[in-house]
Amino acid sequence: MAPAALFDVDGTLLDTNYLHTLAWAEALSQYGHAPAMALIHASIGMGGDQLLDHVLGPDRDHASDADISSAHQALYARFWPRLRPFDGAADLLRAVAARGWTVVLASSASARDLSVMRRVLDADDAVSAATSSDDVDASKPAPDLVRAALDRADAGPDEAVFVGDTLWDVQAAAAAGVPCIALLSGGTGERDLRAAGALEVHADPAALLAHLADSALGRPSATPRR
C-alpha cells in the first residue's frame, strides 16, 4: 500500500469555516448564549462537544448541548447551496494521488455533511477513503480522527502526512505522530499554526499545489510497503 495523504475538508478543501461560525453563533443565540464570533471561529475544527466546552466553559449546564448541536446542524444545512471548494482543491488531490499517495478525506463532519461536501468537491476519482464523526469517539484535538484515517489507508504514522487548517488539526496530527501541513484558508494565522507545530504553511490549496514538488507531499514519505 502507498503512503497516506490525509486531508481535512472543512476550511482546508472547502470554504466553510465562516459558515460554520455563523451557524454556531445562531444556534447558541437560540439558547441564550452570545459568545464573541472570534471565539467561535477559533473553535471551528473541534467536534461539537469540545467546541461547546471551549466556547461556553466545561463547568456550564450541559442540558442543552445536544439541542444546540442539532440546531447548528440544521442551520448549517441552509448553507449547502453556497458551499464551494477552494481554487485548486480538486486538482491538488489529483496531483497528490498521481504522485503515489493514498488520499483519504480525514473529516470530522457528520456523514450527512461529508456526503454533501464530497459532491461539491467533485474529486472522488482521487479519493481512496474518508472518515466522518461517526468513526470516532473523541473529536479533534484528540488524535482519534487521524488514527481512523490511517486505518482507512492501511498506513502507519511514519507513512503519512496530514493537511489541515486549524490549530486542532495540527495538534491532532501531532498526537497521532503524523506531520501536518497547514493552510491559511480557514482563517488561522501562520504564526499560530507554526507555533502549534505545523511542518509547512501555505496560503491555500492552490498555493500548496504550486509548491507541491518542494513540499512534504512532493514524493511519498516512505517506500510503499509490499
Q: How far is CA 6 from CA 29, 166, 178, 189, 191, in A?
A: 34, 14, 10, 21, 23
Q: What is the pLDDT of residue 138?
A: 83
- Judge residue 73's burial from the number of C-beta atoms within 10 Å of its C-beta, 0-12 exposed, 13-18 middle, 19 or more buried: middle
Cβ pair 105, 127 in contact under 8 A = yes
Give the pLDDT confidence score for residue 221 in this predicted structure: 53
pLDDT for 139 equals 83
Do 69 and 96 share a structural domain?
no
Would 226 be classed as within a structural domain? no
Residues 72 and 127 in one domain: no
Residues 201 and 96 grouped into a single domain: yes
222 in any annotated domain: no
Range of the domain at 71: 17-81
Which residue, 81, 108, 137, sits at the end of a domain? 81
**Structural domain ending residue among the three candidates 56, 81, 106:** 81
**51/47 Cα distance (integer angstroms):** 6
Amino acid letter, 212: L
Instruction: Identify whether 219 is part of a domain.
Output: no
60 and 171 in a single domain? The answer is: no
Which of 60, 81, 102 terminates a domain? The answer is 81
pTM: 0.94
Number of domains in the chain: 2
In tens digits, the chain (226 residues) has pLDDT values of 689 999 999 999 999 999 999 999 999 999 999 999 999 999 999 888 789 999 999 888 899 999 999 999 999 999 999 999 999 999 999 999 999 999 999 998 889 999 999 999 999 999 999 999 888 888 889 999 999 999 999 999 999 999 999 999 999 999 999 999 999 999 999 999 999 999 999 999 999 999 999 999 997 654 433 2
Residue owning grid cell 492552490: 206
| Per-residue model confidence as pLDDT tens digits over 180-192 | 999 999 999 999 9
How distant, in Å, are the alpha carbons of 41, 93, 98, 159 from that of 219? 33, 14, 10, 11
Q: How far, in Å, CA of 182 to CA of 19, rounded?
A: 20
